[in-house]
Structure 1
Amino acid sequence: MDKLPPAVTVTNIKSHIPVVLENDCSKYNSWKQLFLTHCEAYEGLDHIVPPDNPPEAKPPTWDRVDALVRQWIYSTISPELLETILKPKSTAQMAWDTLAALFQDNENSRTVDLENKFSSTRMDSFTDISSYCKAMKNIADQLANVNAPVSDKRLVLQIVKGLNSKYNTVAAIIQQTTPLPDFYGVRSRLTMEESRLNAQENTPADTALAAAAPPPPAAPAFLSLNPYLTFMLLPLFPFPKTPPKPLPYPSGNMP
């Protein structure tokens, strides 16, 4: 009895390739690498990437495995792409090559659009640091998918460049740090600075001053015995200065 090919054991291709390929080029490289890895693991790679030295005769299970690889392709792309590549009597390699040609044609224009977006994105368009950094990292990943990779250094410097004036201090520190922190280190620093600034903004100024200023010292008790003595000695004490109340002299008996 012939041994069943490993490809037959795959029951849910989406658990192996969770990425759905769309017309957008941003996911093509990720989908491609996942698909190649899966085909290599389940002995279907020869059906989309012909070997340098192909065997003279195809194995008996070739057509069955080829149909399975085609199903994997059809199940992991969008309905719009499926309509584009679905043809009668197609093979897995034909479907694979059609997708490759389609995305290579769109690559240059997509690269220009992403480069413009990468250079013009600013933090003011987002609600917080995490959203801003996530968006910048996503654009960098999309550029890598169209064969225009962004170095970690360039990503960090572009993130710093897009910060608003509230982050001038931490931005200067990051730029002067040697070696320059990586993306995750910069995101962590900016997140901490964001938390510090938010805490400052949420603390009322009057409350902060009242908590910082010590209470005024109390006046010595003996001064309360004579209002005129209190008035004469006021300059010597830091307590609030108020004029003394007049003594209740009888009418016409003022000294």
Structure 2
Amino acid sequence: MAETPKSGESSNIDISKLISEMSKLSSPSFPSYHLPTSFNISSLFTVPMDRTNYASWKSQFEDILEMHGLTAVINNDTKPPKMQEDGSVHPEFAKDKLVLSWIKATSSSSIKTLLIPCTTANQAWKMLAKHLSPLASTRIRILRDQIRTLKKDNDTIVADYLNYAKSLVDSLVQSGATMDDDEFISYILDGLGLEYKELATTLHLHPNINFDQFYDLALREEHLQKRMSLTLTTGVAMAADRVPNERNFNSKLPSHNHTNFRRNRGRNWNQGRGTRRTGQWEQTQKIWPSNQPSQHREWPSNQHSQYRES
């Protein structure tokens, strides 16, 4: 007859076996590595990567890879195996797919189309460097030229001009280049023209001013110029109104003054200048000029007949 186990002994054996089996089921396939599946990389890239900001995206993406210990993934030329001998996913393959998904998640729609043929993170990394690095260098040169040749139009207010200039330097930073505030402000000031020479003097006295401080000073200078222009325009308008007022005052003078003036002028003209004009009737002397022949005056026929009868 088989020996039966003592009370409590069978339960201890069963519990130990159960714990052993559960530990096998709960153990990961590659316990030495944990993928950061809960990490949302899109939250760190508010602007998707495109042809204009590739350099800044590349720099930030490399920092993230280094923080998670995944820098070797983009440098691995060989394609990692997909499965292990026990049928589980190979950890190197999981790392590669994770980095590849990060690249696509932070790219714009046009860049995602470019990355369709890429099956590994290394292929995608090289594809981006091949197609976007030369474009990034060209864009940096274009942005620098646009900043150096800034010019404010007469119809543009200072606030719009400064905001446009700031957008250019922000795009320059996104492209991977830098420009300090002193250089940037000097280009902006050149574009403002001679009307803001007083502002240039202020900046000369305060050489360490930043862009935000310069922004406030430029707006104040514009406001001051508008006030001065309004004062000048008002003075010119008042001077122009003074002329018709004086004319209206002269028109209200007594009319006999003007009559005497015209009467005296007519008398002087007849006496002084009328004697030197030939071929005209002299009002003062009541004579005919000697060099002009007399004219025969024709009488009516009835007057001739009456004269003969008499």
Q: TM-score, normalised by structure 1?
A: 0.63
1:48 match: secondary structure: helix
Of all paired residues, the percent bearing the same amino acid is 23
Q: 1:108 to 1:190 in 2, by over 3 A?
A: same
* C-alpha contact (below 8 Å) 2:143/2:168 kept by paired residues: yes
Match in the other structure for 2:286: none
Match in the other structure for 1:219: none
1:139 paired with 2:168, answer yes
Give distance in 1, aligned partners of 2:91 and 2:156.
56
Give distance in 1, aligned partners of 2:150 and 2:109.
31
Give distance in 1, aligned partners of 2:90 and 2:154.
59
Q: TM-score, normalised by structure 2?
A: 0.53
Pick from 130, 138, 142 the counterpart of residue 109 of structure 1.
Answer: 138
Q: Could you list the runs of 5+ residues in structure 2 that have no partner in the other structure?
A: 1-26, 77-88, 239-310
1:68 paired with 2:94, answer no
1:113 to partner: Cα distance: 2.2
1:5 match: secondary structure: coil
Give distance in 2, aligned partners of 1:61 and 1:129.
57
* C-alpha contact (below 8 Å) 1:129/1:194 kept by paired residues: yes
Letter of the 2:113 partner, please give it. Answer: E
1:142 to partner: Cα distance: 3.3
Letter of the 1:29 partner, please give it. Answer: A
Letter of the 1:72 partner, please give it. Answer: W
Match in the other structure for 2:219: 191
Deviations 1:32-89 (A, max 9, x none): 2332233233333322256xxxxxxxx942211211111111121122222222215x
* C-alpha contact (below 8 Å) 1:29/1:145 kept by paired residues: yes
How much is the aligned-residue C-alpha RMSD, in angstroms? Answer: 3.2
Q: How does 1:44-193 map to 2 (within 5 A)?
A: 44-49=70-75, 60-87=90-117, 90-124=119-153, 127-146=156-175, 148-174=177-203, 176-193=204-221
Q: 1:185 to 1:6 in 2, by over 3 A?
A: farther
1:165 to partner: Cα distance: 4.3
Give distance in 1, aligned partners of 2:202 and 2:72.
52
> Which has the greater radius of gyration?
2
Letter of the 2:187 partner, please give it. Answer: Q
Match in the other structure for 1:32: 58
Match in the other structure for 2:308: none
Give distance in 2, aligned partners of 1:147 and 1:29.
5
Letter of the 2:106 partner, please give it. Answer: T
Letter of the 1:64 partner, please give it. Answer: A
